[in-house]
Structure 1
Amino acid sequence: MDTKLPVETKAKIYTRTKRILNIAGSLLSTGIIVTILLSGYSVKLEEYSRSIFPGDYGALLIFVLLISLLTGIVSFPLSFYSSYIIEHKYGLSNQTLSAYFRESLKSTLVGAAIGIPVILAFFYILKTFSANWWLIFGTFIFFLSFVLGRIAPVLILPLFYKLIPITDPLLAQSISDISSKAGVNVNGVFTFDMSKNTNKINAAFTGIGKSKRILLGDTLISKFTNEEIMIVFAHEAGHYFHKHILKLTLISAALTFAGLYITSIAYDFLVRYFAFESITSIAALPLLGLLLGAYGFITNPLGNIISRKFEWEADTFALSSTGDSKSFISAMEKLADSNLSEKSPNKVIEFLFHSHPSIDKRIQFAKDFVS
């Protein structure tokens, strides 16, 4: 990449390239599933799966494995180019090739450990409660989201990152002061070793109940001043103050129930249209996956609207609790430069794809907040 290009120009090219690759990847995966269905190959895959494991659940797992392998192999070149080549090209990745494959394998294994029980539970519910499967499965997913929210920071995240409590005494005291203002009751504030993989900056408020914690990337700690770090912490504390994780969980649950209900109606119709044996036919399940994917795509802008609203609330809390608009603005500038974020994206693109307000809007908000 031409290092002489202005950062904003690089950011525009980078974000546009990543967006095109992500859309292309989604279209490719969708195209594979559509081809499997329309060609009748889905039925042949089910027959082959049953030749290995005659039972429904064993055949289901073989079927899912075969389709996952097929889509994974076909999609790999595009995925590798987007997540490894492009990130190195723009100087955003520190990851070695071996580390890339190691982390990918780890993600796959963790995904399988969670996904396989979910798939088996779904199929059991579909077979047992065929008329109201959407309601039972939606309830299952709702409770599962709470379980994962509770255990993810404690059991899953440490598989990928080393978490270290904040030790800087001045920073710790400032964090304590903001925590008191926000009524934050979290199980620690930690840095995590983002720098082993990336030069990007990130922070997060995560967890439910006793596993609640605030995470600050070590790249953020190394690049930001203490005042800027406090802005980021205050922003994350704002999410806690406004109970955003709980609200997002409930909103996600509502969208999930609605999506499963709508999908169940469409799935019922299409199973008959394509002459599958029943809704529990393993060969028909890719059709259900397509319907759920389409629902997710359609409702994604709504989720982004809600997310941007919550980000504004967290920004407001950060500015009001610190009174430091100057550090807020400089933190936003560093965030944009380090992550190659487009400061002022097209309004339609922002509406459709962005979960956060644009950097320029957030900077202007900070300026207006002071006045």
Structure 2
Amino acid sequence: MNLWLVFILAVLIGHLLLDLVIARFNLLALAPELPDEFADCYDAQHYAKSQHYTRVRTRFGMLQGIVTTAVTVIFLLAGGFAAVDRLARSFSFASITTGLLFIGCLLVLSFLLSLPFSLYSIFAIEARFGFNRTTPATFLADLGKATLLTILLGGPVLALILWFFENGGDLAWLYCWLGVTCFGFIVQFLAPVLLMPLFNTFTPLPAGALRQAILDYTVSQQFNSGGIYTMDGSRRSRKLNAFFTGFGRFRKIVFFDTLVEKLEQDEIIAVLAHEMGHYKKRHIWIMMAASILQTGLLFFLLALILENPYLFAAFGVEQVSVYASLAFFAFLYAPVSTVLAVLVNWLSRRHEYAADRFAAETTGDPEALVRSLKKLSRENLSNLTPHPLAVALSHSHPPVLQRIAALRKTTASAS
């Protein structure tokens, strides 16, 4: 048997088994008793609902992983990639156009496989637990816009990558890295102005006590913002969130309307201070640098296996091509991606603790952030007791109980 095929199957099955083990550990780690820290904002019924939500979502994720992996393995062994390649070549287009058609067909097949799970997740599970507000019309509109953006933005980038690898010689991977990095920066600037408003409505926060309190805090931190906005997150979900977006004069402070509705003024300021902590501590730039380095590594490794005939034999594809190499490389890169994700998530968790400390110190009210974390957890039905292995491997945020304990320690050391 082709050793490349053995490795690819091992990666697919191994990744599934790892996900299933983590999910199982998470289920076993669900504590039946409400943690004492949350006794002031949870009752037994609400805590039981949050645990039931975790169980339902976890088991659904396990099922989706099993089905997706099984279909992928069957598609691979049955010659599905070869069939798609023959279809793409049957039009006798130039190599880049053929490559776009090949990868586009694979993306459509992947979308069709995931669509039933997305529909059930939104309109069954999220609706069952009172989160979903997405209508079928909104879902279809979002789908159409996302598809159009993928074609208009992703298509040219993919074509450029194919062109570089076909014509760039030994330094093609470097050209791709630089090109994708530049494109990423452009999107970061365009997103708040052109892209995000396609999906949500951003409304300037009206004058009043909350807006004045936010302005007072931003002035105290010498932070210039392009505006303070609420976003109609309630149009799709009842979950709470807040974020910064954009750079320079395009920078926005954005609160979900659900968050403004559920939190008190001092708690909203605490959430804002946490997000500002990420900015002041340069976490955004650090994570962007990490992402850029990962992209460079990806293209470098891709260049090493480009047009490898043994890899093509593993997928049953007869004619070697640059475009198919990109698709096949995704399977080989999965273990590297998993390891890098562990490291990036570890760094992200450290950033969350640092942003919490910044918020506690600059507002002078750590308890406001504690209360906001509790309310966010309650309203979003968060899992309060994830398994340590799940946290280490896949969580970008520390468990809320650990964040609160760290805040308490910060308060104690300051007093």
Q: 2:365 aligns with which of 324, 328, 345?
A: 324
Question: How far 1:124 moved relative to its partner?
Answer: 0.8
* Higher deviation after alignment, 278-287 or 174-183: 278-287
Matched, 1:300 2:341: yes
Alpha-carbon separation, structure 2, partners of 1:327 and 1:245: 24
Matched, 1:83 2:93: no
Ranked by relative contact order (alpha carbons within 8 Å, sequence separation 6 or more), the top structure is 2
Alpha-carbon separation, structure 1, partners of 2:332 and 2:59: 22
Query: In the TM superposition, what are the counterparts of 1:196-345 in structure 2 within 5 Å?
Result: 196-267=235-306, 269=308, 270-271=310-311, 274=314, 280-345=321-386
* Higher deviation after alignment, 179-188 or 281-290: 281-290
Judging changes above 3 Å, is the alpha-carbon distance between structure 1 residues 125 and 26 closer, same or farther for their aligned structure 2 residues? farther
Query: In the TM superposition, what are the counterparts of 1:1-371 in structure 2 within 5 Å?
Result: 6-22=45-61, 24-25=63-64, 28-29=67-68, 31-267=70-306, 269=308, 270-271=310-311, 274=314, 280-371=321-412
Alpha-carbon separation, structure 2, partners of 1:362 and 1:310: 11
Question: How far 1:126 moved relative to its partner?
Answer: 1.5
Normalised by the length of structure 1, the TM-score is: 0.90
* Higher deviation after alignment, 35-44 or 135-144: 35-44
Alpha-carbon separation, structure 2, partners of 1:260 and 1:247: 20
Alpha-carbon separation, structure 2, partners of 1:17 and 1:216: 28
SS at match of 2:157: helix
* Higher deviation after alignment, 223-232 or 261-270: 261-270
* Higher deviation after alignment, 181-190 or 293-302: 293-302
- Contact 1:195 1:218 (8 Å CA) reproduced: yes
Question: How far 1:43 moved relative to its partner?
Answer: 2.7
Alpha-carbon separation, structure 2, partners of 1:22 and 1:145: 30
Q: Deviations over 1:261-311 (max 9, x none)?
A: 234334565536648677634444421222344432332121111111111
- Contact 2:359 2:366 (8 Å CA) reproduced: no
Alpha-carbon separation, structure 2, partners of 1:5 and 1:202: 25
* Higher deviation after alignment, 190-199 or 63-72: 63-72
Aligned sequence identity (%): 28
Question: How far 1:256 moved relative to its partner?
Answer: 1.7
* Higher deviation after alignment, 70-79 or 117-126: 70-79
Q: Deviations over 1:58-90 (max 9, x none)?
A: 222222232222222222222222233211111
Question: How far 1:21 moved relative to its partner?
Answer: 3.6
Alpha-carbon separation, structure 2, partners of 1:109 and 1:353: 30
* Higher deviation after alignment, 52-61 or 4-13: 4-13
SS at match of 1:204: strand
SS at match of 1:6: helix
Number of residues of Structure 1 aligned to a counterpart in Structure 2 = 368
Q: Deviations over 1:309-343 (max 9, x none)?
A: 11111111111111112221211111001111112
SS at match of 1:52: coil
Judging changes above 3 Å, is the alpha-carbon distance between structure 1 residues 252 and 281 closer, same or farther for their aligned structure 2 residues? closer
> Which structure 2 residue ranges, 5 or more long, are not aligned?
1-42
> Which structure 1 residue ranges, 5 or more long, are not aligned?
none
Normalised by the length of structure 2, the TM-score is: 0.81
Alpha-carbon separation, structure 2, partners of 1:348 and 1:357: 12
Question: How far 1:29 moved relative to its partner?
Answer: 4.5
SS at match of 2:170: coil
- Contact 1:311 1:357 (8 Å CA) reproduced: yes
RMSD: 2.4
- Contact 2:306 2:322 (8 Å CA) reproduced: no
Q: Deviations over 1:29-80 (max 9, x none)?
A: 4554554444333233222222224222222222223222222222222222
SS at match of 1:86: helix
Alpha-carbon separation, structure 2, partners of 1:16 and 1:128: 51
Alpha-carbon separation, structure 2, partners of 1:26 and 1:119: 27
- Contact 2:81 2:317 (8 Å CA) reproduced: no
Alpha-carbon separation, structure 2, partners of 1:180 and 1:364: 29
* Higher deviation after alignment, 28-37 or 170-179: 28-37
- 2:372 maps to a residue whose letter is A
